[in-house]
């Protein structure tokens, strides 16, 4: 991993080269996290580029990205490590005879136990250990970017389990002892705020809130992501999406949706937005029936007021 970051501007420029357009705040967060060796907790509405930020950072730092997607019921076995139970079982079955041989000549129970003890750790050794993302990140040969995605979806116990990792970059495994990171990873946690995260977790992280971008930034983003779209259309499109976000919708259109929409309009060879066209492509922006109906009803005013 790249260890020396000169300035915030360097981060921002590198992101821009990758097509990830962001404001100073986001670049500052990455800069601080890399300098202070602290995890970043990224919150914000869906589709504002939280996961993208981690990917862009990994590319910028020239570090591999390891991703752990959280979900309800995620436990240590899935996140950290697991014993390959099936393999262990298979080996004991296959090696039954060798085991018998190894125990031959032992006079009494005590001696057998002692011999078994010598062998014992064989079945709980590296060969039977299945490393999951967290352990991979800790044992990697170079520093990594670890993305723990949608941590709010995981249970609270899992959150508590993460605390040791986040503050000390180490994890205690009963059978193996404490595993300390060979190279401290840069950790990103993302959350859609579907539930309040615990204070203990927040305390250990830098907290970055990414809101929907303002019109100028969104235009920039679309210009970079969909360069073929004419400037006129871009302005209209961003203006319309920004208006939608003012409305009381169930799910507001995110940046990723504006990008999709821009791509679709481009495919349709559209140069100027009009009501009929918006109506027919609206389902790219809005994913709920109620929202669609509400916007369709307001469409004349949304379009006409823009022309005015």
Partner 1 sequence: MSEQVIGQFVKALRGADVAVSTSETLDAVRVAALIGYEHRQSLKQGLAMVLAKSEVDKLAFDECFDAFFRFETRPAGSTSSAPPEPSSLLDKMKQWMPGQQGGGSGAGADSELGQALLNDDAGALNRKVAEALKAAGVENIQVITQKGLYGRRVMQALGSDALDQEIIRLANSEVPADRRLEKQLRDARQQLREQVREQVAGQFLLQAREHGRQLRESTIREVNLRLLSEFRGVHQQIERMARRLARKHGRRQQRARRGRLDGRRTTVTALQHGGVPAALHWRRRRRQKPKLMVICDVSSSVSAAARFLLMFLHAVNDVVPSVRSFVFASRFAEVTTLFDELPPEKAIAEVMDRYAGPGTDYGGMLQQFVDLCDARIDRHTTVIILGDARNNDLPPQQQLLAHIGQRCQQLFWLNPEARGRWGSGDSVMPIYQPYCREAFPCSNLAGLERFVDRLLRDIARDAG
Task: Write out the residues near partner 1 by the rule CB under 8 A.
Answer: 8, 24-25, 28-29, 32, 35-36, 38, 41, 73, 85-86, 89, 93, 155-157, 196, 198-199, 202-209
For the bound state, the minimum distance from the C-beta of residue 21 to partner 1, rounded and expressed in Å, comes to: 17
User: Strands across the sheet with 186-191, in order?
Assistant: 65-69, 145-149, 186-191, 40-43, 206-209
- The least CB distance from residue 39 to partner 1, in Å, is 11
Which of 67, 2, 65, 51 has the alpha carbon at shortest distance from 31? Answer: 2
Residue number with CB closer to partner 1 (35 or 98): 35
Nearer to partner 1, 35 or 280 (CB): 35
The residue (of 71 and 209) whose beta carbon lies closer to partner 1 is 209
> Comparing C-alpha atoms, which of 43, 70, 40 is closest to residue 57?
40
CB of 305 to partner 1, least distance (A): 30
* Beta carbon nearer to partner 1, 178 or 198: 198
The Cα–Cα gap between 23 and 48 comes to 12
Q: How far is the CB of 154 from partner 1 (least distance, A)?
A: 11
Burial class (CB in 10 A: 0-12, 13-18, 19+), 244: buried
Q: How many residues does the chain have?
A: 308
Q: Least separation, in Å, of the C-beta of 5 and partner 1?
A: 11
CB of 43 to partner 1, least distance (A): 9
Contact criterion met (CB below 8 Å) for 123 and 92:
yes
Please report, for residues 190, 237, 240, 243, 262, the alpha-carbon distance to residue 301 in angstroms, rounded to integers and kept in the order given. Answer: 37, 15, 11, 11, 22
- Residue 99 or 206: which CB sits closer to partner 1? 206
Q: Which residue, chain included where needed, has tokens 């005879």?
A: 97
Compare residues 190 and 236 and give the one whose CB is closer to partner 1.
Answer: 190
Q: For residue 190, what is the DSSP state?
A: E
Q: Which residue, 13 or 157, is less far from partner 1 as judged by CB?
A: 157
Both structure tokens of 295: 């916007």
Sign of the torsion formed by the C-alpha atoms of 254, 64, 133 and 199:
negative
CB of 31 to partner 1, least distance (A): 8
């Amino acid at each position: 991993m790249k260890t020396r970051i000169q300035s915030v501007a360097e981060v921002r420029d590198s992101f821009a080269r990758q097509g990830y357009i962001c404001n100073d705040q986001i670049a500052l967060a990455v800069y601080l996290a890399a300098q202070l060796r602290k995890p970043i907790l990224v919150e914000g509405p869906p589709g504002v580029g939280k996961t993208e930020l981690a990917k862009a950072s990994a590319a910028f730092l020239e570090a591999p990205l390891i991703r752990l997607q959280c979900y309800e019921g995620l436990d240590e076995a899935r996140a950290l490590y697991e014993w390959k139970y099936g393999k262990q079982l298979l080996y004991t079955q296959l090696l039954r005879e060798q085991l018998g041989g190894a125990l031959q000549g032992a006079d009494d129970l005590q001696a057998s136990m002692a011999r078994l003890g010598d062998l014992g750790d064989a079945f709980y050794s590296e060969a039977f250990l299945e490393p999951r993302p967290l352990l991979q990140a800790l044992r990697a040969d170079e520093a990594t970017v670890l993305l723990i995605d949608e941590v709010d979806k995981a249970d609270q116990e899992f959150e508590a389990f993460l605390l040791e990792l986040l503050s000390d970059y180490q994890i205690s495994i009963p059978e193996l002892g404490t595993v300390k990171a060979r190279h401290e990873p840069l950790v990103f946690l993302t959350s859609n705020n579907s539930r309040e995260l615990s204070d203990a977790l927040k305390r250990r992280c830098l907290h970055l809130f990414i809101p929907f971008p303002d019109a100028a930034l969104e235009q920039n983003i679309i210009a970079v992501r969909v360069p073929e779209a004419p400037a006129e259309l871009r302005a209209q499109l961003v203006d319309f999406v920004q208006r939608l976000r003012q409305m009381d919708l169930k799910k507001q259109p995110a940046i990723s949706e504006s990008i999709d929409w821009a791509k679709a309009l481009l495919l349709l060879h559209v140069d100027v937005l009009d009501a009929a066209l918006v109506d027919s492509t609206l389902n790219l922006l809005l994913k709920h029936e109620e929202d669609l109906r509400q916007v369709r009803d307001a469409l004349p005013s949304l379009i006409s007021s823009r022309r005015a």
